[in-house]
Structure 1
Amino acid sequence: MAARQPKPTSAFVLPSGRTLGYAIYGSSDPSAPTAFYHHGFPGSQGEAFGYDSAARAQGIRIISVERPGMGASTFQPGRTLLDWPADLLALADHLQIAHFAVLGISGGGPYALACWHRLPRDRCVGAALVCALYPTSLGCAGMLLQTRALLTLCPWMPTPVGWILDAMLGGTARDLAHPEKLELALADGLKNKPANDRAMLEQEDVRAALVAGTRGSMISGGLGPAWDGLILGSDFGFKLEDVKIEPGRVIMWHGGMDQNVPAHMAEKAAALMPGAELRLSPEHAHIDLPYMKADEVTQRLKQMLAP
């Protein structure tokens, strides 16, 4: 039997004429409770394949949306973090989704949090932030040098960084004739990570999700991911202490062994957002946490989405 694979990308044309790429995972019922998945940095919709089984088990839909310049989504010059909620709401309206939750993984966390902050409560009813990135102003001590360098350089020189990213990864990601090369590149990139992160590539669905997410992120070159880095390394446009949170509606999962986003960033962010619940797992790192906690995350999303 052939292995399951990430879904093909669908396209939605925004009123501005830009295209948003997305795919639907989990339940096939259009009326099922729905959460919008925000992929990591860099990433694309295929990353959400790793949540497909957990979402199906909970009877919810996960709609994975590609940010501008990644996957099938049109690059948007000069975009900011707070431009994103309007795009997401337009897609929700197009799909006739009355209310929804948001799920943000790693670099997708700020986008999910911006949606929670910006959108009406009768539309966006909950937020799950999993190994999410928080403002770099909270301190980057303990962060991997490569991640810290990207978040520092992208705000100053996104175009050159985009060229570098494309030179480093673009050709490999777009080489569909030799897909094994991207798997090897991802494994090489994890060789200095915690053992539990490295072990995730041994799981077929997780490997397929990470490969698909990375491949899609570079399909149009490195500028889209570089601009994402610009946004993630800059001021978010709102203060965490101004985010209003009802108990049980914003939950943060984070690994104590995370080297991409050190746990102290999540702890400081939680302290600035009274009402947010931080679930710290000392034994987990950055790659393994989202998948090891997929059942728990989707269960909590279902509870948030309950009438």
Structure 2
Amino acid sequence: MATRHPKPTSAFVLPSGRTLGYAAYGSPDPAAPTAFYHHGFPGSQGEAFGYDAAARAQGIRLVSVERPGMGASTFQPGRTLLDWPADLLALADHLGVKRFAVLGVSGGGPYALACWHRLPRDRCIGVGLVCALYPTSLGCSGMLIQTRALLTLCPWMPTPVGWILDAMLGGTARDLAHPEKLELALVDALKNKPANDRAMLEREDVRAALVSGTRGSMISGGLGSAWDGLVLGSDFGFKLEDVKIEPGKVVMWHGAKDQNVPAHMAEKAAALMPGAELRLSPEHAHIDLPYMKADEVIQRLKQILGS
């Protein structure tokens, strides 16, 4: 059987003239039930490759979309979280997708939740949130110092943070002649993470997904990722308690050992959104949970899309 790899990026030109980068994983059938994957921070569409096998098995088309300034998506100065749903809806229209679910992983969670909050319910019919970030106002105690620093500094000084990110990772990410350097950098970045997170890099599909996602996030420099941090560290533009929850349509997965987004943030978020289903996994952390739960997540989205 041929080895599979992250898909090449396709480009869609928005009515504004900006470009969105995306790729479709899972079922190759354009008419298959569709969910839109929202990558982490920083990230790009290749991150969704870790869900490709699960989505194929369930007959789900998983369209992974790159946010402005990352991958092939045009940088958008001054953007806010609530600017995103209109972009996603334009892409859905372009692809001929009438009904869809949204899946947000880590830093992609707020974007998926914004789509659920803002888009018509006959279009966006469900949302999955996997180790998702929630408003920092819920408290960041227990969060890794690097993550907390980015979410604090990016809203105040995105351009200098972008320079720093590019200096730290950009050159390595763009060194296509020596791709092993980025893999080694990711291994080094995980050395102080929980053992189950570190073990994920031993899986070929996960390693390929993380390397591809990270490489794409820095392909145009660090400013796109820094601005993503600005958006994620700022007020969302809506309150979680104002999000209308329909039973069975909003499902949250979180690991009790998560150090990037401590579990207490998910628990507080769930309490503010009565009706949202929180599946707290005591044995999982931040990186292993999305991939160890991939089959379960895709199966649940399939149920939502079939309802």
Q: What is the TM-score when the length of structure 2 is the normalising length? A: 0.99
Structure 2 distance, partners of 1:73, 1:275, is: 34
Displacement of 1:49? 0.2
| Matches for 1:194-273 after TM superposition, within 5 Å | 194-273=194-273
Quick one: which amino acid aligns to residue 113 of structure 2? L
1:79 matched residue in structure 2: 79
The question of 1:99 aligning with 2:99 is answered: yes
1:68 matched residue in structure 2: 68
1:27 matched residue in structure 2: 27
1:171 matched residue in structure 2: 171
Give secondary structure in 2 for the equivalent of 1:21.
Answer: strand
1:120 matched residue in structure 2: 120
Q: What is the TM-score when the length of structure 1 is the normalising length? A: 0.99
| Matches for 1:290-301 after TM superposition, within 5 Å | 290-301=290-301
Give every structure 1 segment of 4 or more consecutive aligned residues whose post-TM-superposition deviation is greater than 4 Å: none
Deviations 1:210-230 (A, max 9, x none): 000000000000000000000
Structure 1 distance, partners of 2:90, 2:304, is: 21
Give secondary structure in 2 for the equivalent of 1:206.
Answer: helix
1:108 matched residue in structure 2: 108
Quick one: which amino acid aligns to residue 49 of structure 1? F
Displacement of 1:4? 1.4
Structure 1 distance, partners of 2:2, 2:277, is: 40
Structure 2 distance, partners of 1:202, 1:3, is: 16
Structure 2 distance, partners of 1:164, 1:2, is: 39
Displacement of 1:3? 2.8
Deviations 1:116-148 (A, max 9, x none): 000000000000000000000000000000000
Displacement of 1:24? 0.1
Structure 2 distance, partners of 1:124, 1:104, is: 13
Q: Calculate percent identity across the aligned residue pairs.
A: 90
Displacement of 1:2? 5.4
Structure 1 distance, partners of 2:86, 2:158, is: 24
2:158 matched residue in structure 1: 158
Quick one: which amino acid aligns to residue 214 of structure 2? T
The question of 1:285 aligning with 2:291 is answered: no
Structure 2 distance, partners of 1:3, 1:98, is: 32
Structure 2 distance, partners of 1:217, 1:2, is: 27
Structure 2 unaligned blocks of 5 or more = none
Structure 1 distance, partners of 2:208, 2:296, is: 21
Give secondary structure in 2 for the equivalent of 1:4.
Answer: coil
What is the number of equivalent residue pairs in this alignment? 307
The question of 1:37 aligning with 2:41 is answered: no
Q: CA RMSD in A?
A: 0.6
Give secondary structure in 2 for the equivalent of 1:54.
Answer: helix
Structure 2 distance, partners of 1:283, 1:207, is: 21
